Structures are given as structure tokens and as C-alpha cells.
Amino acid sequence: MKDLILICKYSVRLLTREWRRFVLPSASLVITGVVIMLMLLLTEGGSTLIGEKARELQGGDMVIESNTPIDADALLNEISIVPEKKSYTRAFTASLGTRERALPVSFEVVDGTYPLFGTITLQSGVYRALSPDELLLDQAGAERLNVKVGDTLLFSEKTYTLAGIVTEEPSSLFGGFRFFPRAFMSDAGFARAALPTELLRTEYRYAYALPNLTDAMRVRILAYKETHHTDITIAGTSRTGFDRSLSTVSDFLIIAVLITIVLGAANVYTSTVHLIASERKSFAVLLALGMRARTLGSVVGTSLLLIVIPSGIIGAGLGTLLFTVAQGVIETRYGISIPLHDALFQGFITTLLILVTTLSAFVPGVLRLRGVSPKDMLHGKDEGAREKQTLSALLVIVIGSLAPLVLLASLLLQSFIRGIVVIGGILVSYVVISSIFVALLSLLYRYRTRFTFMVRGVIAHKKADGVLGVISFTSLFIALTALATLALTQVSLTRYLEQDLVRTIPTTYVIDIQPSQKDALLSAFPDLTVFPNIRARIVDIDGRRIQDLVEAGDPNTDRELRREYNLTMRDSLLSSESITEGVWGEGNAGEMSVDREFAERANIQLGSSVTFLIQGFDVRGTVTSLRDTDSRSGLPFFYFVLSPMDVGEFPSVYFGYAYYTAETQRALEQFLLPTMPNVSVIKTDALAPIVRSIVNTLLTLVFLIIIPPLLIATLLIATIVVSSYPSRKKEGARLQALGLPINRVRLFYLLETIALTLAGAIMAYVSSLLVTYFITSRYLKLGQPVLFDAELFLGLGFVVLFVAMIGAYLFTKNRMPLRELLAYETNR
């Protein structure tokens, strides 16, 4: 009890007297808390939303999808399930237009019971069953066609009245990301169009409301799905593409949060070590007065605890506030309200995680108290433990920090292995970068005599910063490299989309041309180049039964091979293609050309034998060439090109492209609208802004995720600057006493203050150039990346300026006379 009172009394005293030392770690912990809380609320809210909206998004409790009409009711009978309600819809892409313009639209033909769950919200008025001469259009479509409610629209030689503009629909969570605008019409309205269904690539959807869906029913449904290979989904149980995307985003967020946590921990560690280093004499006196080392550790720990809990609570509060702001923005932009669930519980978890973070940093930090010995101190050897610090400290940090961090990562990622892998990955990055930094610094230190006195002094000081300097540099370097890489990639992508791509890309793509329409279309528009497009599934590569291997989860078989591919046939290479291996075929049976990168992924070599399943028939070919494609051309791209001798007889849909002026494009649209409404025209000039907007939105989100680690890394540098200020001030006085004018002393310490940040910024920029070059040239294939971005320079400059301002503020506010400075205790 006595000990407890002493610990509380001394820790409060330490905190109140030395509060300045706790400001920066508190700020780091608050930022970490904000990030953790935001991540928890967003992932929890997102999952809840998906769970709650699963039936609406999917269209029903159970949905059967098919490319051909099926008797779905009979299927339900077979598995003895009686639905409460049902709705049949079909979806296809076709052209919709006015007298002036046309555009490809995703049509949804709905029955009277649609939607089973959720509602369709209109800009004005209420949704009702549509009459045969009415249709609905979403906002994007209405804007692009420049129509309003009551206007006339053309579809397959028939006129329809726009009955309403859809602002929200149940199956669209983020409607803003739809590629094509969406239109709704009734069965009768579709029948009125009298469009031959064989011309359309239609997806039939049979949705059911099953309020009493039991586990036994689920089992029967899944068993039927397995045995009949039918595409059946059950709301809330089957993982949709959206679920998987959400999970990927959630994992990405968690990894970003873990990086923030590691940086937060580094900051707490740095501050703890500085606190112990600067208070060594006082601590040694306490030990000399009889305080036990364990009690002393508890005093330091309790004073940290006093900042951790408020930091966690403030972080959680600010995180909740930011979440509500984000909630409002998402609701305004996308009409979706992400629920705020269990904010108190999430706040508790956040504070707990902050505690674990602090613990991971505090343990190795406080172990330095072992170096404090009253005997040494009272004999004046106040730096006695210094030599032990550098090597052993790194080891202690690693071991002492790893256990709680791995535990934390495992909990967040819900997998111990993934926890180890992620923390291991972060650690390896740290160790590699730290080692490079240490090697460079040692090299500079070794040859420091070749530099001027000032530069030599800066090098010596950076060397003297030891492990703390290394951690700060590494943290800042990682954050700045990520930021710079993203910025350069974004600029490169924008340039690619705005300049490089636009120069070469065809102006017009034409999709879904049926064989019966090809000749008529080509005679009206002879400049159109068309390719047949045949759907096929790979069944065998060099004797390996691919579908069986994928089903069995064979680790050497890419899961992507499970899907259907588009094949084509042609006699000649496109201007965008080049043969890398083998020879281009002469049109003989059995010849096949494969994209080189796909071949590497699928383990296909020159001479490999590949068998496809096309409309129930096996088609076999031998790979006679591998080719590369320049994606910048924007020309049609196919993984497989086969000989017309092999696939020429299969009915195929055609895909075309052309370099048309706006006038010809309009003529093409007006030609297709009444006669071939199933054929869609895509104008690439309209496509680029959509792609650019999506890319920019995604990259902006990633930018936002990088900001907290960057802030903490900068705070880490600031911690070092502020903590080392008293000793630097004293050294400045010594240099002045030796004859260095005050302005040069200030310049010297300004250089010393910004040295780490400046070096980090320069090295991060250089590294990001290399990474961006790799990403844009090798991975995205965008050609040469952009090497200079003024905004990025400004951003990096701002970080350096921020640190310089802290240094400048500290050194200029110092008005103490030189005589007093020399008598000044450094630990104040």
C-alpha cells in the first residue's frame, strides 16, 4: 500500500513537472487512437450494413442466376422449398437514346413484384409498376442523355416515356461506380420492343423471399448447387465479390493501422528513453535513497499510463467525430448510411489497443532503467550505460515489442499466421532500411574529415543520436516513400489517361455485335475493325485437368483459370502486339498464340497443348507463339488467339473498334439505335474521365490512410528535436565560447535539426522514383513514369519546414545569456 501511494505520488509529480516530455507521445497516441477507432467503426459499420442490406443487394433471400431461361420454380419444388414471394428479372446491355444522342445502358427488365426487398427512390414521385410504354433511368443516364421526366426515349424502334429518374435502388450500394447507366422497364415494355432475345446477352435472375429459411433448407440449397453446378446465392452466407472487396479493403486498413501502431509505439519508446536519459541523475538519486528499481519502473510506467488512457479516450472521441463526418459525406454522396455501432465498446477496444501499443514500447524503453546505477551516478559517470544501449537496445526493442504487436495484429487480422507475417513484414522493412541508413551514416562518419566543420558536426551528431535517430529516420522514410510513390503513380496515371492513352486509343468501341448483324454494320461503317469473341473455359493444359485441380485447391494452379475466357481468331498480328517467342501462325488448324504474361501465370510454354471447352465441344491447340501487347494502344486484347480453322464455326459475338470523329460516332449511334439496339457504342473520351475519377478516388483514400503514419513519423522526429534541444543549446554555448558566431551556431543547429528529415525526404523521393518506375513500367505498363511533381515537392518541403520551424522556434526563443547557458543544467 505504501509503495502504491509512493508510485502514485511520484508518477503524478513526474508527469506534472515534466509534462512537456509527454506532449508529443500523447499526440502520437491520440493519432493512433483516431486511426484505430475509425478503422473499427468503418469495418464494423460496413459489415453491419452489408449484413443488413444483403437481401436488398442480392435481390432476395435466395437468388438463382442463369445465362438461359430456366424453370426455377421447379428447382425449388425439387428441394421442397416454398417461397413467400418471388421476382423474376433479366438484365442486358443495349443502346438507349433520343433523337440527338444514344448511350449504352444496363437494362433491368422487372416484374410487378420487384423489388422484393428495399425500395426504388425516384427524384420526384413514388415508384410504381411501369406501364409498357414507360421506363426509368438513373441520374447518370438522364444527365448523359440530357432528358427529364416525361421526355421521350428511343429503344429498338419504339418510343418510351421517361416515367422517373432513379436516385437510389436496392441492389446498388455505391451507384456512383457503375460503368453503364441503368434503366428499368417492365416485362410488357420489353415485349413491346419486340427485340429478338437471341441478340442479347441476357442474365436471368430468379429471386425469392424465404422468411423462414432454416439451416436444413440452406443445406439442401447448397447440395443442389454443388450437384447441379447452378449459380445460387443465399443472402448473408455466400461471399460475393463485394464481400471479398470489403474484406480486402478491411485487411488493407488493418495493415495501415498496424503500421501506424508500430510508429506510435516507436514514438512512445523514444520518449520513454529520452525521459529516462534526461532524468538519470534524479532516478539514480532515488535509487541511492533506497527506492527499489521495480518501484522506479512503476513510477515511470504509471506516469505513462496517466497519458495513455486520456489519449485513448480523446483518440476514440475524435475518431467517432471523424466517422460521423465521413458518414455524412457518404450519405450525401452515395445515399448510404453506414451505421454507427457500439461506439462505446469500440472506444474501449481502441483504448485497450493504445495500452497494448504503449506496453510494447514501454517495456523495452523502461528496461533502460537497468543502466541507472546510484554508484556510477554519484561518482559522476552519468553516461555509464550508454555503450550498452545501441546494440542491446535494438534487440530488446525487437523482442519486447514483438509479442504484444503480434498479438494485436493476430486479433485484428483474425489469424495468428497473418499477424506474424504482417508484423514480420513491417519489421523486415524496418531492419533493412535501418541497416542501409546505419551503413550510410557509418560511411559518412568514417570519411567525415573530408567535409567542412559544420557538415562534420552534423554527421557526428546524427551518429550520436544512435538507435533513436535510426528509428525516427526509418519511420519517416517509410511514410514519405509511400506518400511520394502514391503521388508519382497518381500523376503518372493521370498523364497516361490524359495524354499517352488519348493519343493512340480508338475513339469508339462497339460491343455485342451479333453474327447476323456484322455484315450489315460493316457495309454501313466499313472502317470498323471487328473481332469475334468466343467464350471458352480451359479444361486441360499439358495433360493437367485444370478445373479439377482448381476445385481441389492445387497450390500450383491459379484460381483465375476457373473462369471463362474470351478467345478470338485472326490471321495477323495487331500493331500493338509483338512476338516474344515462337512464330505467328499461318492459319493452320491447331495453332494458338498466348499472351506471355498470362502464359507465365498459367504455366503454359511454347509447344504446350491447351484444350478449351467451347459450347460443349473440346477444342485443342498447340501454343506456337507467345506475344506481348502494348496496353497503351487501347486495341482489343485477348489472352488467346486461335486459328479460324479451329473456332471459325462457333457462333460468336463480335467486338469492334474505330477511329471516328464525333460526327461519325453520332451517325453510328443513330444507325444502331433503331435497327440494332443490342449493340452498344462506347466513346472513349467519355470513358477516360470515369476511369480517372475512380483512380483518383481510390488513390485519395490511400493518401488519407498514409497521412496518420506520416504525422506520427514527423512527430517522432519532432520528439528527438525537442528532447535533444537542451543538450544542443548547451553545445551551442560551448561552440560560441570557442568563437563560433551566434548566427553560425543557429545555422549549424538548424542544419542538424533538419538533417534527418531532409535526408529522409530526399532518399524517400529517390526510392519512390524507383518504386514508381517499377509499378508504372513493369506492373501497370504505362511507359515512363512522371519524375517530377511540384505538389509532391511542396508536400515534402512542408514536412522539412515543419521540423525546421520547431528547431527555429526553440533556438530563437532562447534568450539566455551565454554565461548562464554555460552554467545551465542540460536536463531541463
Binding site for other proteins (CB under 8 A): 380, 383, 386-387, 453, 456-457, 460-461, 463-464, 727, 730-731, 734-743, 817-819, 822-823
In this complex, which beta carbon is closest to other proteins, that of residue 23 or of residue 454? 454
Cα 27 off chain centre by: 26
In this complex, which beta carbon is closest to other proteins, that of residue 171 or of residue 278? 278
Question: Residue 739 Cβ, how far from other proteins at the closest point, in Å?
Answer: 2
In this complex, which beta carbon is closest to other proteins, that of residue 664 or of residue 736? 736
In this complex, which beta carbon is closest to other proteins, that of residue 704 or of residue 737? 737
Question: Residue 441 Cβ, how far from other proteins at the closest point, in Å?
Answer: 12
**Residues contacting 517, CB < 8 A, separation 6+:** 199, 676, 678, 679
Which three three-digit cell numbers place residue 732?
551551442
In this complex, which beta carbon is closest to other proteins, that of residue 239 or of residue 819? 819
In this complex, which beta carbon is closest to other proteins, that of residue 531 or of residue 725? 725
Cα separation of 715 and 475, whole Å?
10
Side chain identity at residue 243, one-letter code? D
Q: Is 101 within 8 Å of 146 (Cβ atoms)?
A: yes
Question: Residue 821 Cβ, how far from other proteins at the closest point, in Å?
Answer: 9
The H or E element spanning position 206 is: strand 203-209
In this complex, which beta carbon is closest to other proteins, that of residue 450 or of residue 778? 450
Question: Residue 438 Cβ, how far from other proteins at the closest point, in Å?
Answer: 16
Q: Is 514 within 8 Å of 678 (Cβ atoms)?
A: yes
Question: Residue 459 Cβ, how far from other proteins at the closest point, in Å?
Answer: 9
Nearest to residue 249, comparing CAs of 50, 485, 34? 50
Specify the 3-state DSSP secondary structure of 26.
helix
Question: Residue 366 Cβ, how far from other proteins at the closest point, in Å?
Answer: 22
Question: Residue 274 Cβ, how far from other proteins at the closest point, in Å?
Answer: 15
Cα separation of 807 and 392, whole Å?
30
In sequence order, what DSSP letters do the residues of 335-351 get, joined into one string? --------HHHHHHHHH
Question: Residue 733 Cβ, how far from other proteins at the closest point, in Å?
Answer: 8
Cα separation of 83 and 77, whole Å?
10
In this complex, which beta carbon is closest to other proteins, that of residue 132 or of residue 466? 466
Question: Residue 555 Cβ, how far from other proteins at the closest point, in Å?
Answer: 53
Cα separation of 793 and 700, whole Å?
18
**Cβ density class 74-96: b for 16+ within 10 Å, e for less:** ebbeeeebebeebbbbbbbbbbb
Question: Residue 245 Cβ, how far from other proteins at the closest point, in Å?
Answer: 52
Specify the 3-state DSSP secondary structure of 66.
strand
H helices of 554-654, in order, are 596-602, 644-647
In this complex, which beta carbon is closest to other proteins, that of residue 55 or of residue 461? 461
Q: Is 795 within 8 Å of 764 (Cβ atoms)?
A: no
For strand 152-155 and strand 591-595, is the pairing parallel, antiparallel, or unpaired?
Answer: unpaired
64 forms bridges with which residues in the sheet? 206, 232
Question: Residue 811 Cβ, how far from other proteins at the closest point, in Å?
Answer: 15
Specify the 3-state DSSP secondary structure of 303.
helix
In this complex, which beta carbon is closest to other proteins, that of residue 242 or of residue 445? 445
Side chain identity at residue 761, one-letter code? A
Question: Residue 370 Cβ, how far from other proteins at the closest point, in Å?
Answer: 18
CA angle 61, 67, 71 (to 5 degrees): 60
Q: Is 368 within 8 Å of 273 (Cβ atoms)?
A: yes
Question: Residue 470 Cβ, how far from other proteins at the closest point, in Å?
Answer: 15
In this complex, which beta carbon is closest to other proteins, that of residue 212 or of residue 743? 743
In this complex, which beta carbon is closest to other proteins, that of residue 352 or of residue 464? 464
Cα separation of 727 and 752, whole Å?
13
Cα separation of 446 and 459, whole Å?
10
In this complex, which beta carbon is closest to other proteins, that of residue 220 or of residue 463? 463
Question: Residue 376 Cβ, how far from other proteins at the closest point, in Å?
Answer: 12
In this complex, which beta carbon is closest to other proteins, that of residue 458 or of residue 534? 458
The count of residues in the chain is 828
Cα separation of 718 and 351, whole Å?
24
Nearest to residue 612, comparing CAs of 571, 651, 561, 655? 561
Which three three-digit cell numbers place residue 376?
556510477
Cα 177 off chain centre by: 16
Sign of the Cα torsion 153, 156, 158, 163 reads negative
Question: Residue 449 Cβ, how far from other proteins at the closest point, in Å?
Answer: 9
Cα separation of 679 and 686, whole Å?
18
In this complex, which beta carbon is closest to other proteins, that of residue 563 or of residue 828? 828
Q: What is the biggest distance separating any 2 CA atoms in the chain, rounded to whole angstroms?
A: 102
Question: Residue 456 Cβ, how far from other proteins at the closest point, in Å?
Answer: 8
222: burial class by Cβ within 10 Å (0-12, 13-18, 19+)?
A: middle
In this complex, which beta carbon is closest to other proteins, that of residue 380 or of residue 553? 380
In this complex, which beta carbon is closest to other proteins, that of residue 181 or of residue 457? 457
Question: Residue 460 Cβ, how far from other proteins at the closest point, in Å?
Answer: 4
Half-sphere exposure of 103 (CA within 13 A, CB side): 21
* Strand runs labelled E in 19-124: 62-66, 85-97, 102-110, 121-122
